[in-house]
């Protein structure tokens, strides 16, 4: 599941996260994404778990085997929009899940947001395994008429992250009992599940 904390369409961080999702699909994973724009703002602001959209979102989070968290960097931290998307997730709601954080900022100066802002939140939500995150600077994604183009260097890092995540998912699948199943789910949240077979 991909959770992308940017309301912009298109956005740099969503472009990076979409690339990871595409790579995962190429390797046999099923992905799903929830965008902040799909939610009623009031329901999201008040974490209204009775809202149908939020209920579906939480169900997909629960079903996911892995979650990609993507956010722009604001004031040296993750975005407020991402916080709104994480607030409804219950305590330990990411238990038994693998997490991959992605952040995008204007310069390399905010690289540590991955370790000092995102990783503690993912740990507090119970993520079993948090992979090394990917930090993307604005210069690594150039603007085009229809969106953003990913530079070669950051593309390689995103590819590596997707491959590591897929490898972990395969490892979990191989270690699971035959009776176990892989669940799945869609940006501010992409659900990822290991494809059967």
Give pLDDT, residue 160.
Answer: 96
- Helix H, strand E, coil C: the string for the chain is CEEECCCCCCCHHHHHHHHHHHHHHHCCEEEEEECHHHCCHHHHHCCCCCCHHHHHHHHHHHHCCEEEEEEEEECCEECHHHHHHHCCCCCCCCCCCEEEEEEEECCHHHCCHHHHHHHHHHHHCCCCEECCCEEEEHHHEEECCCCEEECHHHHHHHHHHHHHHHHHHHHHHHHCCCCCCCCCCCCCEEEEEECCC
Beta bridge partners of 192: 66
Give pLDDT, residue 188.
Answer: 35
The two structure tokens encoding residue 100: 């991959």
Nearest-angstrom CA–CA distance, 65 and 34: 16
Residue-by-residue pLDDT tens, the chain, 197 positions? 888 788 778 888 889 999 999 999 999 888 888 878 888 989 989 989 999 999 999 999 999 999 999 999 988 889 998 999 999 999 999 999 999 999 999 888 888 899 999 999 999 999 989 999 999 998 898 888 888 999 999 999 999 999 999 999 888 767 754 433 333 333 334 444 433 22
Decide: 19 and 76 in contact? Cβ < 8 Å. no
């Amino acid at each position: 599941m991909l959770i992308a904390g940017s309301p912009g369409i298109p956005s740099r961080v969503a472009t990076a996260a979409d690339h990871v999702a595409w790579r995962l699909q190429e390797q046999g994973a099923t992905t799903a994404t929830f965008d902040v724009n799909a939610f009623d703002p009031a329901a999201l602001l008040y974490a209204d778990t009775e809202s149908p959209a939020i209920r579906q979102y939480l169900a997909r989070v629960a079903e996911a085997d892995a979650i990609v968290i993507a956010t722009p960097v604001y004031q040296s931290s993750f975005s407020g929009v991402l916080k709104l998307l994480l607030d409804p997730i219950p305590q330990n709601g990411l238990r038994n899940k693998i997490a991959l954080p992605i952040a995008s900022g204007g310069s390399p100066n905010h690289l540590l947001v991955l370790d000092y802002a995102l990783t503690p939140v993912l740990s507090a939500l119970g993520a079993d395994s948090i992979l090394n995150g990917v930090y993307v600077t604005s210069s690594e994604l150039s603007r085009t008429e229809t969106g953003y183009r990913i530079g070669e260097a950051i593309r390689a890092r995103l590819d590596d992250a997707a491959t590591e995540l897929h490898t972990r998912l395969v490892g979990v699948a191989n270690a699971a009992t035959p009776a176990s199943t892989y669940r799945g789910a869609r940006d501010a949240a992409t659900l990822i599940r290991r494809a059967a077979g």
